Amino acid sequence: MELVSQLVRLLRDLQDPHKVARFQQLCGVRGSFAGQPSLSNGSCPRQPHQERTDEADGLRGRIVESHSPQVNGTDRETSAIRQEDSSDLAKQKPRRRNSLTGEGGQEFVIDNAFLYYLFTFGTELGNELFYITFFPFFMWNIDAYVSRRLIVIWVWVMYLGQCTKDIIRWSRPPSPPVVKVEMFYNSEYSMPSTHAMSGTAIPFSLFLLTYGRWQYPFIFGLLLALCWCFLVCTSRIYMGMHSILDVIAGFLYSILIMVIFQPALEIIDNFNLTCTYAPLIIISLHLAMGLFSFTLDTWSTSRGDTAEILGTGAGIACASNLNYMLGLMPDPPVSLLPLAVPAITTGLVVKCGTRFLLGVVILLVTRAIMKAITIPLACRIFHIPCDDIRKARQRMEVELPYRYITYGTVGFTALFVVPVIFRVLNLS
């Protein structure tokens, strides 16, 4: 019993939002809201999800707000702090706002610009912009075999992570004491960190899938995976989006999923390639997973993100099947393994850059066209007013089909349509 009580205390300690705030202060992040409580060892009580969001909204106006005469020592000290904050306006960042919900947070001051940009880059390694650039680049310029298997792992890790969040329903670290440097995912629940999960699954799966297939030093691949994982995990604490416990749980959960699915990866990939009915089965399975896996008590970005992930996985799997049936993009024979890393020449860089830029433009145009078609179409089918696109996109009847179809098309385009265009233009 003593061991259990110590474990419970440790978990509560790791969930303490004041530890997140201390880490932020150590990295040079200071909230500029007035009346911020001093950091103590006591933990901040967790509040219900919606109540905490409302509290964060109420803080928006409480930013270095008073310049009136002070009457006592404490007020004079507060005034001096506020004057110091005012002198830092050059380093003060504007309020972040969630483009989907309109939710905003307090302003904050950055004392260490290097860490700010480093952790901003780290958190972007788990965002949509990274996925829509990294996966295609790897697919078109390095190894389609590795990329399609990597996406299978990514889909399962992210899907299970998002569903687990909406089952456990733990709130984000409250503000104050935490400074919300990022706001986009603030409407989601917190446990586990899916950024930490993807930041663990992608680099380590990449390492496991490429080592022995490509010629490079073992220590290089391992160190790259460790640094990538560490940067993404710590960036979520820096951004004020997760407690230490959320990040550790996300890391361990991702490792567990990888251990379970790694033996089945060969079976899944062969099924996607060779089964005649694989596209129909995959599309139906991913649709069912998105519809019946979980329900939300209040809207958040998690449902749309889940549909986006499942749609991308379905599109990639269908493209893989079609490529195999038509004899396109064949995997290199085993006799050629391990593959040697080619010499980096100007011609190679130009060709890779041209493929990447042209391909990403095609994907972005495809996404824009599909969004413009699917949102109004879903609104019309389900008789939902689309005067306010933001509200319409939050309705399940619109959000699920729009995200699933749009990103399914993007995934299919990335692995089938774009490589065909490359062949036509002699860029393969």
Question: Which residues are catalytically annotated?
Answer: 195, 242
Cβ-in-10-Å burial (0-12, 13-18, 19+) of 203 comes to buried
What pairing do the DSSP bridges indicate for beta strands 108-110 and 92-93?
antiparallel
Compute the C-alpha angle 14/30/165, nearest 5°: 40
d(CA 141, CA 356): 8
Q: Give CA–CA dist 255/16, Å, rounded.
A: 24
Chain centroid to CA 97: 17
**What CA–CA distance (Å, rounded) separates 22 from 238?**
10
Q: Provide φ and ψ at 60, rounded to 5°.
A: -60, -35
Q: Are 14 and 249 in contact (CB under 8 A)?
A: no
First-residue to last-residue Cα distance in the chain: 63
Give the span between the Cα atoms of 78 and 67, in whole angstroms: 10
Beta-carbon contacts of residue 309 (< 8 Å; ≥ 6 apart) = 154, 155, 158, 159, 162, 407
Q: What is the DSSP string of 55-69?
A: HHHHTTT-BS---S-
Spell 26-54 as b/e; 16+ CB within 10 A means b.
ebbbbbbbbebeebeeeebebeebeebbe
Q: Cα(260)–Cα(238) distance, rounded to whole angstroms?
A: 31
CA dist list (Å): 288 to 27, 149, 168, 282, 292: 43, 22, 21, 10, 6
DSSP string, 323-351: HHHHT-SPPPPGGGPSBPPPP--HHHHHH
